[in-house]
C-alpha cells in the first residue's frame, strides 16, 4: 500500500479552564460532536467527516495548553517498528495498553526535544456517527455551525525544533514541505507532512518548551471560511486574524481563541503535496507574506501568544 | 517517507482527430499550457499547478481514445521493484530508455488485462512554468479559462477489470476505495487510490477492451465548476452532464467532450482517503445516486459512449 | 423616493395536500420559519431575511396550486391610486379590510386575464424574527437548511398573457426585462420587474388558465445552490432539474417539487436591472439555452407540469 | 415605472498622478475595459456588465481625488425637474450641453455643501462592449483580473454632511438606509440609496471639504473577493484592509489603493433595500463592528487617509 507508516494526526488533548464554556465553543461554534465523557470528566469530540471515535479531547485544568498529540499509524507492525526506531535512536518510549472504554488501542509515547509529548497508535474504535459506507449519503445530517470536517494539524512552538524535526523526518517518515529560513541558515519555522497534505505538523522556534500555537480544523472551502468568520463575530468570539490566506501552504484561514485562550484555526484549501515536490523556502524578509499573504506582515499576537 | 511506490497519475496520451481544434479545447478552454511540440507533431501540455514538465500529450490520429496512461513512482529503485513484481506475476514488461528531448526519464510499460497500456516512470524534467519555490507567490499569472489545476485521474472501461484491479492492488500498491457491486457480487465499477485521493484510476466493466471513459482535471472548488459550465455553454462545447455531484467520491463535476469526442471531466472536492478507511460500497439499485447524486439516474451516454 | 408604486412580491398562498408533509418541506428543508397558524389552519411562514410578518401561506386543500399572489406597494396612497387605475381600465377590484390577527393591512384584489388572483397591500406587521435594526448582527441565528433569504417571485402559466402583461406594465408600473418571442412575433414568455430585480413575476403562454409553474426563493450564492442540491438528494426530495443556470436572468437555479407537487425554485445571482436597460430577447430556436443555459434544451416537465 | 428619478451612480472622474500606472491598476488588475482616450488625454473605462459607454474617467493631474460624480436619472424630464427643484431650494445649478464625442447627453451639475461636485444626466451612448441583448450569452469574453462587474458607489468625506444629505434625500429622492450616530445624536456616517442597493452614496463627517474616501466596484461573490485579494498580494498592490465584511450593508469587502493613493473597494453581497425597510442605526461604541464586522475595530487609515 502506497501510504505507510504514520497516516495522519489522530487526536490532540487540550487543557481548558472551563469545560462548559469550552463545549459551547467546540461543539456549538466549531460544530464538533461530543462522543463521550469519561469517568475523569474528559470530553471526547469528533468532526462529522471522521471515521475514528474521537479526535479532540478536552481536559479541564488550571492551565491551558496541549497535553499531547497522537498520530495514527498504518498497522500494529508499524507501531512496533516505530518503537524500535525511536529506542534505537535513544528516544525513551513508554507504552500504554489499549483502553476499550476510550475506544483506543495500545499507544506508544515519547517526549520530543521541544518538550511536547507525542503518541502513536494503530487502532481506534469507529464511531456510529462516522461517514456512511453502504450506499453512502454525503452526511447523516447537515454539518452544523462552522462545519469543521476534521482535526487537521497542530502548530507547536518550542526551543529545539531541529531535534524534533529530526525525529519526525528521520524516524517517523515525515517530509519537510516548506520552511522559513533566517539569513544565517537557521530554520525558523518548519512544515512537515506524513502524506499528501501541505502539513500535518508545524514547528516554530521559540525560547520556551512545549508550547501550543494552534489546533487546526479543516473546512470545505473559502465560503465556509467566511461563514466561520460570520459566526465568530456574531457571537463575539475572540479572533486573532483573518479571514486571510497563508503564503505557506496557500491555506485560506482564520485564527481565533477558545474561551480558555488556546488558539484555534479553521482553514480551507492549500496545495497537494507529493514527496517528489521541492521544499518551498521563505526568507525572513518575506516572512510576513509567508504567514499572512494578504496582510504581508506578522501581528505580535502570532509570535508571542501561545499556550 | 510515508508515501511510497506509485505517487500519482503523471501523464496520459490522447488521440485527437484535429490538433488545431484540440488545442483550442485543452489550451483555451480548459486552460492548460502548451509546453512543447515534438518532432512527431505530438503536443505536450500541463496544468498551472503541476511541477513536472507535462501531463497531457495529444497525438493527431484517425481514431480517438487513449494511447497510454503513465504513473509516477517515488524512485528509480521503486521502478525496478515494480518491474520485478510485474514480471514475477507473469506480466510482460517493456522498458523505454530516458528521452531528454521529451523531459522524461526511463519508463517501464505493460498491457493490462482490460487492454489498456500503462507506464511507470520515476523522473521527469521540471518545467519553468511550475509553481514557485522561493518565497512562492500563489501563481505566476492568474489561472486562465477553466483554471484546471492538474491532470487528476482516468476512468477506463474494459472487460477483465478483475485482472487489471489485481495488478493495481496486489502489485502496484493501490487500494480499493469505493465500488459498485451487482446482486451476484460482481464488481461493476471500482475506484482505486495510490495515495490520499478518493481515486487515481477507476475501472468499469464493459464488453470491449481498452476503452477510455474520461480524463479528469481538478478545479479549485464548486465555484470554478460553475465557471467551467459557463465557459462550456458560452462556447457551445459538447456537454455530457453537469454541474452535478458524484455519490462516489462526492466530487462536484461536469462531463464534457473534446472536439474529437473524447470525454473530459472537470471536478472539485471529494473526500480525503486513508488506507484505514472502509471500502464504500454501492448496490446496483442505487447506482444512479452513486454516479450522479443529484439526478439519481444514469444517462445512456455515460454507459455507452467511450473512445 | 426613487422606488415607488409596487415594491415587490409580498406573499403567495399555496394549496398543499398534506400540511405535515408541507411543513417538513418548507420549514425543515427550505429553512423558512413558521410564524403563525390561524384559526382556519392556514400556516404563515417567512424567510430569515424578511422584515414583514410572513411571505408564504400554506392552505391544506384537495387540489394543489396557488390561491393568490400579493404585491407590497409603497403607501396607502399608492394603493388607492392603483385601485383607481385598475377600475378606470375596467378591471373589477375587490377590497379586503385590514386583519390585525393576520398582521395584514387592507388589501385590494383583482383577477387577471390569465385567471390568476393578485392582491396589493401597503402594510404588514413586522415580525420579531425580522433582521436586526440596532447595531444589527448579520442574523439572529445561523440560517438553517437551504438558507432561503426571501420569497422572490412566481412564474405563472396562463392563456392571455398579453392581457395580464398589459395590466402589470401599463397599470402597475412593471417593466418587461426579458422575453421569448416566436418567429411570428408572439411572446411566449415574459419576465417583468417592478424594481431592480431581473424579474418579480414571469408569465408563460399556456392553454389553461390560472396555473402555477413555480414559487421561487432567493439563496445567497452558487455555493448555497449546491448545498440545496445536497439537501434535496440527501432527503430524496423530488427534483425537476439543476443545479443549472438560466440564460434568462442568468440566475443559478434548481427546480424541485414540494410533497404535494407544487414546483419550487431556489436560485442565486442574476443581473441587476435598471429601467434604461434594453429588453433582452430570445428567439424560440434558442429557448433551450434561454431556460437552461447549461443543458441547452427544455425538459418536458418544465413545459407541462404545472399546478 | 417603479424606479423613477435618480437611477444609479453613472460615472466618477478621478485624478491620478501617473496615467500609465493607473491603467495597469484599473485595466489589468481591476479588469475594466478602456473605451476611449479623449483629446485632453482623459481615459474612459467601463466594467464588463455595464451598458453605458463608460463609468470611470481618469484624468492625470498633480493632485489625487475626485473631480465629480455623476448620477443617471430616468429621463430628460426628470433631469429638468431636478434642475428646478435644486434651484428652488437655492442650489446653484450649471448646465453642460451634450457631448457626442464623449457619448454623453446634457448634464446638470451642482456643488454640494460638503464641497463635492455632482452631476446628473439622462442619456449616455451605449458601448459595443455592453452585455448582449439578442439571445444573450453570459458575457462576450470571460471577465478578466478582479472581474469587476460595475462601478457601484462612492464614500465621500466632508464637513457639512447634513447639508449634502438634505439635498440627496429631500431633493433627489434618496433614502437613508443605515447610519452611525454619536451619543449626542450627531450623524457620523450616512448611507443613502436611490434604489434597492444598500447604498449608492455614503457620507462621513470630516473636517475637510470635498474629500474622497473610496470608489467601489461590485464583484460577483465572496469567492471573487478572495480572488481579488490574491491578485493584490501577487502584484504587491497597496491594501488597506480585508478581505472582511462590513456590518453596515453586510458587504464582503477589500479596501486598497490605486498607485496614486486613491482608495478603491471591491465588494460583494450586502442586503437588498426597500423603502419600507427601517433605517438601521449603529451607535459609536459599536462603530468598529459597523465598519469592519470581523475586526470589530477601525484602523487609523480608514478614518484619516482620504484624497
Inter-residue contact D159 to D209 (CB < 8 Å): yes
User: Hey, are the CB atoms on D289 and A232 less than 8 Å from each other?
Assistant: no
Q: For A6-57, what is each residue's pLDDT tens digit?
A: 999 999 999 999 999 999 999 999 999 999 999 999 999 999 999 999 999 9
Instruction: Write phi, then psi, for C99 (nearest 5 degrees).
Output: -135, 95
Residue B105 confidence (pLDDT) above 80: yes
User: Hey, are the CB atoms on C6 and D2 less than 8 Å from each other?
Assistant: yes
In sequence order, what are the residues at sequence separation of 6 or more whose Cβ sits closer than 8 angstroms to the Cβ of residue B286?
Answer: A135, B247
- Give me the residues paired with residue A212 across strands: A156
Of C135, C193, C223, the CB nearest to D282: C135
Average pLDDT over residues D131-145: 96
Q: How far is B216 from chain C (nearest CA, A)?
A: 19
Query: What SS3 class is residue A275?
Result: coil
Return the C-alpha cell found at D20. Answer: 500609465
Dist. CA B2–CA A193, nearest whole Å: 9
Strand ranges (E), B206-251: 211-218, 239-245
User: Hey, are the CB atoms on D243 and A243 less than 8 Å from each other?
Assistant: yes
Average pLDDT over residues C219-240: 97
**What pLDDT sits at residue A257?**
98
Helix (H) or strand (E) holding C191: strand C187-193
User: Within 13 Å and on the Cβ side, how many CA atoms surround B140?
Assistant: 14
Q: Residue B264's CB: how many other CB atoms inside 10 A? A: 23
The distance of Cα B306 from the centroid of its chain, to the nearest Å, equals 14
Residue B256 confidence (pLDDT) above 80: yes
Helix (H) or strand (E) holding D23: helix D19-23
Q: For C191-209, what is each residue's pLDDT tens digit?
A: 999 999 999 999 999 999 9
DSSP class per residue in D104-155:
B--EEEEE-TTS-EEEEES-BPBPTTSPP-BS--S-SSPPPTT---EEEEEE
Residue D141 confidence (pLDDT) above 60: yes
In sequence order, what are the residues at sequence separation of 6 or more whose Cβ sits closer than 8 angstroms to the Cβ of residue A245?
Answer: A251, A252, A253, A292, A293, A294, B138, D226, D229, D230, D233
Q: Which residue in D131, D223, D235, D252 has the most chain B C-beta atoms within 10 A of its own C-beta, making it the best mutation to test that interface?
A: D223
Dist. CA B36–CA A161, nearest whole Å: 44
Return the C-alpha cell found at C166. Answer: 398589459
Query: What SS3 class is residue B80?
Result: helix
For residue B119, indicate whether it is catalytic: no
Each as own residue / partner, the long-range contacts of residues B138-141 (CB below 8 Å, 24 or more positions apart, any chain) are B138/A245, B138/A250, B138/A293, B138/D230, B138/D233, B138/D234, B139/B48, B139/B49, B139/D234, B140/B48
User: Hey, are the CB atoms on C6 and D7 less than 8 Å from each other?
Assistant: no
Residue C233 confidence (pLDDT) above 80: yes
Instruction: Write phi, then psi, for C24 (nearest 5 degrees).
Output: -55, -45
**What pLDDT sits at residue A133?**
97
Dist. CA D222–CA B63, nearest whole Å: 44
Closest CA to D99 of D154, D49, D129, D54: D54
Q: For C207-227, what is each residue's pLDDT tens digit?
A: 999 999 999 999 999 999 999
Of C142, C221, C230, the CB nearest to A138: C230
Inter-residue contact D148 to D266 (CB < 8 Å): yes
Contacts of C274 in chain D (CB under 8 A): 3, 7-8, 72, 195
Helix (H) or strand (E) holding D166: helix D161-166
Of D137, D223, D231, the CB nearest to B142: D231
User: Hey, are the CB atoms on B196 and A195 less than 8 Å from each other?
Assistant: yes
**What pLDDT sits at residue D304?**
85
Q: For D1-22, what is each residue's pLDDT tens digit?
A: 567 899 999 999 999 999 999 9
Q: How far is B55 from chain D (nearest CA, A)?
A: 25
Query: What SS3 class is residue B173?
Result: coil
Q: How far is B276 from chain D (nearest CA, A)?
A: 34
Dist. CA C290–CA C84, nearest whole Å: 37
The number of residues making up chain A comes to 307
**What pLDDT sits at residue A127?**
83
Q: How far is C225 from chain A (nearest CA, A)?
A: 13
User: Hey, are the CB atoms on D234 and B145 less than 8 Å from each other?
Assistant: no
Distances (CA, A) of B146 to C26, C224, D230: 36, 21, 17
Dist. CA B23–CA B25, nearest whole Å: 5
Distances (CA, A) of C196 to A124, C193, C217, D96, D150: 57, 7, 16, 29, 15
Q: Which residue in C1, C2, C247, C250 has the most chain D C-beta atoms within 10 A of its own C-beta, making it the best mutation to test that interface?
A: C2
- Give me the residues paired with residue D282 across strands: D180
Distances (CA, A) of A68 to A10, A156, B126, C131: 11, 11, 40, 44
For residue B246, indicate whether it is catalytic: yes
Closest CA to A230 of C20, C207, D293, C203: D293
Q: For B65-84, what is each residue's pLDDT tens digit?
A: 999 999 999 999 999 999 99
Of A1, A134, A222, the CB nearest to B175: A1
Query: Among all chains, which residue has been given the C-alpha cell 418548507?
Result: C26
Contacts of C142 in chain A (CB under 8 A): 145, 231, 234
| DSSP 8-state assignment for residue B98 | -
Return the C-alpha cell found at D75. Answer: 429621463
- Domains parsed from chain D with CATH numbers: 6-121 (3.10.180.10), 150-304 (3.10.180.10)
Catalytic positions of A, please? 153, 199, 214, 246, 255, 265
Nearest residue on chain D to C200, judged by CA atoms?
D2
Closest CA to D15 of D43, D34, D47: D43
Inter-residue contact C306 to C233 (CB < 8 Å): no
Dist. CA C57–CA C75, nearest whole Å: 23
Q: Residue D46's CB: how many other CB atoms inside 10 A? A: 24
Helix/strand number for chain A, H first, E second: 6, 17
Contacts of C5 in chain D (CB under 8 A): 2
Q: Which subunits count as partners of chain A given 3+ CB pairs below 8 Å?
A: B, C, D
Instruction: Say which of B25, B116, B199, B213 is annotated catalytic.
Output: B199
Dist. CA D226–CA A229, nearest whole Å: 14
Which is it for the CA torsion C54, C178, C187, C244, positive or negative? negative
Residue A222 confidence (pLDDT) above 80: yes
Dist. CA B194–CA B191, nearest whole Å: 10
Q: What is the mean pLDDT of chain B?
A: 96
**What pLDDT sits at residue D2?**
67
Q: What is the mean pLDDT of chain D?
A: 96
Inter-residue contact B216 to B166 (CB < 8 Å): no
User: Hey, are the CB atoms on C136 and D280 less than 8 Å from each other?
Assistant: yes
User: Hey, are the CB atoms on D296 and A233 less than 8 Å from each other?
Assistant: yes
Q: For C70-129, what is each residue's pLDDT tens digit?
A: 999 999 999 999 999 999 999 999 999 999 999 999 999 999 999 999 999 999 999 888
Closest CA to D276 of C193, C171, C126, C168: C126
Q: Residue D140's CB: how many other CB atoms inside 10 A? A: 14
The distance of Cα C78 from the centroid of its chain, to the nearest Å, equals 21
User: Hey, are the CB atoms on A276 and B74 less than 8 Å from each other?
Assistant: yes
The distance of Cα A198 from the centroid of its chain, to the nearest Å, equals 12
Strand ranges (E), chain B: 6-16, 33-37, 43-46, 56-60, 65-73, 94-96, 107-111, 117-121, 150-158, 175-181, 187-193, 201-205, 211-218, 239-245, 252-257, 263-268, 280-283
Q: Which residue in C141, C142, C229 has the most chain A C-beta atoms within 10 A of its own C-beta, making it the best mutation to test that interface?
A: C142
**What pLDDT sits at residue A2?**
67
| DSSP 8-state assignment for residue B3 | B
Instruction: Please report which residue ranges of A186-295 form alpha helices under DSSP H.
Output: 222-234, 287-291
Dist. CA D150–CA D182, nearest whole Å: 33
Of A2, A221, A283, the CB nearest to B3: A2
Q: What is the ipTM of this complex?
A: 0.96
**What pLDDT sits at residue A186?**
97
User: Hey, are the CB atoms on D245 and A226 less than 8 Å from each other?
Assistant: yes
| Residues B135-164 as b or e (16 or more Cβ within 10 Å = b) | bbbbbeebbbbbbbbbbbbbbbbbbebeeb
**What pLDDT sits at residue A196?**
97
Question: Is cis: bond before B243, omega within 30 of 0?
Answer: yes
Kindly report which listed range (D11-15, D128-132, D216-220) carries the lowest average pLDDT score.
D128-132
Q: For A91-140, what is each residue's pLDDT tens digit?
A: 999 999 999 999 999 999 999 999 999 999 999 999 888 999 999 999 99
Nearest residue on chain A to B51, judged by CA atoms?
A277
Nearest residue on chain B to D143, judged by CA atoms?
B145
Contacts of B137 in chain D (CB under 8 A): 233-234
Q: What is the mean pLDDT of chain A?
A: 96
Return the C-alpha cell found at D32. Answer: 475594466
Average pLDDT over residues B3-11: 94
In sequence order, what are the residues at sequence separation of 6 or more whose Cβ sits closer than 8 angstroms to the Cβ of residue C33?
Answer: C27, C45, C46, C47, C48, C129
Q: Are strands D175-181 and D187-193 parallel, antiparallel or unpaired?
A: antiparallel
Burial classification of residue A209, based on how many CB atoms lie within 10 Å of its CB (0-12 exposed, 13-18 middle, 19 or more buried): middle
Q: For C30-72, what is each residue's pLDDT tens digit?
A: 999 999 999 999 999 999 999 999 999 999 999 999 999 999 9
User: Hey, are the CB atoms on C7 and D281 less than 8 Å from each other?
Assistant: no
Contacts of B234 in chain D (CB under 8 A): 137-139, 142
User: Hey, are the CB atoms on C244 and B245 less than 8 Å from each other?
Assistant: no
**What pLDDT sits at residue A140?**
94
Q: For C118-177, what is each residue's pLDDT tens digit?
A: 999 999 999 888 999 999 999 999 999 999 999 999 999 999 999 999 999 999 999 999
User: Hey, are the CB atoms on C247 and D136 less than 8 Å from each other?
Assistant: yes
Average pLDDT over residues A163-184: 97
Of C142, C145, C231, the CB nearest to A145: C142
**What pLDDT sits at residue A136?**
97
Instruction: Say which of D199, D206, D213, D227 is annotated catalytic.
Output: D199
For residue D265, indicate whether it is catalytic: yes
Amino acid at each position: 500500500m502506497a501510504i505507510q507508516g504514520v497516516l495522519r494526526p489522530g487526536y490532540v488533548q487540550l487543557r481548558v479552564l472551563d469545560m462548559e464554556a469550552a463545549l459551547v465553543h467546540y461543539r456549538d461554534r466549531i460544530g464538533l460532536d461530543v462522543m463521550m465523557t469519561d469517568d475523569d470528566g474528559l470530553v471526547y469530540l469528533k468532526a462529522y467527516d471522521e471515521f475514528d471515535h474521537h479526535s479532540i479531547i478536552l481536559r479541564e485544568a488550571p492551565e491551558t495548553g496541549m497535553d499531547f498529540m497522537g498520530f495514527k499509524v498504518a498497522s500494529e507492525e508499524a507501531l512496533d517498528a516505530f518503537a524500535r526506531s525511536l529506542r534505537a535512536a535513544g528516544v525513551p518510549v513508554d507504552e500504554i495498553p489499549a483502553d476499550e472504554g476510550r475506544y483506543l488501542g495500545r499507544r506508544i509515547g515519547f517526549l520530543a526535544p521541544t518538550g511536547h509529548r507525542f503518541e502513536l497508535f494503530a487502532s481506534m474504535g469507529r464511531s456510529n456517527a462516522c461517514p456512511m459506507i453502504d450506499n453512502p449519503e454525503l452526511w447523516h445530517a447537515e454539518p452544523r455551525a462552522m462545519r469543521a470536517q476534521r482535526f487537521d494539524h497542530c502548530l507547536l512552538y518550542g526551543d529545539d525544533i531541529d531535534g524534533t524535526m529530526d525525529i519526525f523526518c528521520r524516524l517517523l517518515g515525515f517530509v519537510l514541505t516548506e520552511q522559513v529560513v533566517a539569513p544565517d541558515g537557521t530554520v525558523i519555522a518548519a512544515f512537515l507532512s506524513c502524506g499528501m497534505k501541505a502539513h500535518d505538523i508545524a514547528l516554530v522556534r521559540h525560547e520556551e518548551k512545549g508550547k501550543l500555537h494552534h489546533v487546526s480544523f479543516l473546512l470545505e472551502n473559502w465560503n465556509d471560511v467566511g461563514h466561520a468568520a460570520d459566526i465568530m463575530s456574531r457571537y463575539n468570539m475572540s479572533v486573532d486574524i483573518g479571514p486571510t490566506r497563508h503564503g505557506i501552504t496557500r491555506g485560506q484561514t482564520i485564527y481565533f481563541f477558545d474561551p480558555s485562550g488556546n488558539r484555534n484555526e479553521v482553514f480551507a484549501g492549500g496545495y497537494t503535496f507529493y514527496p517528489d515536490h521541492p521544499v518551498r523556502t521563505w526568507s525572513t524578509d518575506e516572512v510576513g507574506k509567508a504567514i499572512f499573504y494578504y496582510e504581508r506582515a506578522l501581528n505580535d499576537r502570532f509570535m508571542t501568544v501561545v499556550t
